[in-house]
Amino acid sequence: MNLDLTGRTALVGGATQGIGRAVAYELAELGARVVLAARDETRLRETAFSLPTPTDARHGWIVADFTQPATVTAALDDLLARLPHPTIHILVNNTGGPPGGTLLQAAPDAFRTTFDQHLVVNHLLAQRLVPGMRAAGYGRIVNVISTSVKAPLPNLGVSNTVRAAVANWAKTLATELAPAGITVNNVLPGATRTGRLEGLIRTRAAATGHPAEDIEGEMRREIPAGRFAEAAEIAAAVAFLASPAAAYITGINLPVDGGRLNSL
């Protein structure tokens, strides 16, 4: 199986923590040069220097706030102008989810902010990077979303709504780009041991008055595998879809959830 990413460059969002950091490490392990994207330059620098180094170049980063699409595109444009070989072959769209809450409690601005952060940024990045993918004859776009696109999750009203929009954007784009050999796929993590999961558990505990340990145990019992995912397990699925081995897979939603979803 060909998983070799030597000579490829990947842009990974939310790359200083959780799933994004694990994805960056996995892609670097397979030989890719990785460009990290996040808001904190100190953590970006630390992450970049912690990754395995490809044979042809060191890793890089861009400082950008995904709630402000203009900052992301400006940072990317500046990076591409400075790179001697400015093609980015792999785009991993990944960023933190919005705060929890019921749908009726959500303010309209919460939808606008989340739509910008998840869908608009994805779209602007794709518009800039797809021409280079076409010219290189290699392109992979992988969106890290959520199992909520198949079954909405309780108390995540804004996230459920916007992530479903991202999934349909991706499916449409996959159809448009398939003739060029560029694939577009979604990875749907289930409950994954990250800072976001810990925050959701604390929020639910505060809302219900139940101990966080009880909330965590209840969540684990919903998962046939009996445990939460590790970020590296989500990253492995992303890396496979980014590899040459996945060239004939496009337009799919791939759950990585320990069997929790009750749908095919």
CATH code (residue 49): 3.40.50.720
- Phi and psi at 60, nearest 5°, equal -135, -175
The distance from CA 194 to its chain's CA centroid, rounded to whole angstroms, is: 13
Does residue 184 surpass a pLDDT of 70? yes
Same domain, 111 and 210: no
104 within 8 A of 96, measured Cβ to Cβ: no
Domain count, the chain: 2
State the pLDDT at residue 214.
85
Q: Looking at residue 264, what is its pLDDT?
A: 82
Whether residue 201 sits in one domain with residue 183: no
Tell me, yes or no, whether 64 and 24 share the same domain: yes
Residues 154 and 53 occupy one common structural domain: yes
Measure the CA–CA gap between 124 and 119, rounded to whole angstroms: 9
What's the whole-model pTM score? 0.94
In a domain, 66, yes or no: yes
pLDDT of residue 55: 65
Quote the domain boundaries for residue 203. 193-228
Q: 116 and 244 in one domain?
A: yes
From residue 249, how far is each of 153, 180, 186, 211, 243 by CA, in Å? 27, 13, 11, 43, 11
Of residues 239 and 216, which shows the higher confidence score? 239
Non-local (6+) Cβ contacts of 248 within 8 A are none
Residues 205 and 125 in one domain: no
Please give the structure tokens belonging to residue 245: 């081995």
Averaged pLDDT for residues 65-94: 92
- Is 147 part of any domain? yes
Average pLDDT over residues 67-95: 92
Same-domain pairing of 142 and 28 = yes
Average pLDDT over residues 81-106: 90
**Does some domain include residue 151?**
yes
Statement: residue 202 has pLDDT above 90:
no
DSSP 117: I
Helical pair 18-29 and 41-50, crossing angle rounded to 10 deg: 30
E-assigned strand segments in 33-171: 33-38, 60-63, 90-93, 139-144
Position 4, amino acid: D
Q: How far is CA 45 from CA 6, 78, 202, in A?
A: 22, 17, 30
Q: Are residues 216 and 120 in the same domain?
A: no
Residue 1 inside a domain? The answer is no
Verify that 46 and 168 share a domain, yes or no: yes
Q: How confident is the model at residue 222 (pLDDT cuts 50, 70, 90)?
A: very high
Instruction: Please report which helix (H) or strand (E) contains residue 19, including its range.
Output: helix 18-29
pLDDT recorded at residue 84: 77
pLDDT digits (tens, 9 = 90+) for 119-155: 999 999 999 999 999 999 999 999 999 999 999 998 8
What's the average model confidence in pLDDT over 228-250?
97
Lay out the sheet containing 33-38: strands in order across: 60-63, 33-38, 9-13, 90-93, 139-144, 182-189, 253-256
Q: Between the CA atoms of 126, 127, 130 and 135, what dihedral angle is there, to the nearest 10 degrees?
A: -160
Residue at 3 is within a domain: no
Confidence class for position 65, pLDDT limits 50, 70, 90: very high
Q: How is residue 199 written in tokens?
A: 């925050």
Average pLDDT, the chain: 94
H-only helix segments in the chain = 18-29, 41-50, 69-82, 108-115, 121-136, 157-177, 195-208, 212-221, 231-242
Residues 142 and 201 in one domain: no
Q: Is the dihedral of CA 129, 134, 137, 139 positive or negative?
A: positive
pLDDT in tens, 15-55: 999 999 999 999 999 999 999 999 999 999 999 999 998 76
In Å, how far are 88, 104, 186 from 92, measured between CA atoms?
11, 31, 10
In single-letter form, the type of residue at position 242 comes to A
221 and 248, same domain (yes or no): no
Within-domain flag for 244: yes
Q: What angle do CA 144, 182, 120 make, to 5 degrees?
A: 45
Q: Which helix (H) or strand (E) holds 157?
A: helix 157-177
Higher pLDDT, 242 or 218: 242
The pLDDT value given to residue 198: 85
Read off the amino acid at residue 83.
L
Q: What's the rounded mean pLDDT across residues 221-246?
A: 97
Task: Provide the greatest CA pair distance for the chain.
Answer: 56
DSSP code for 55: S
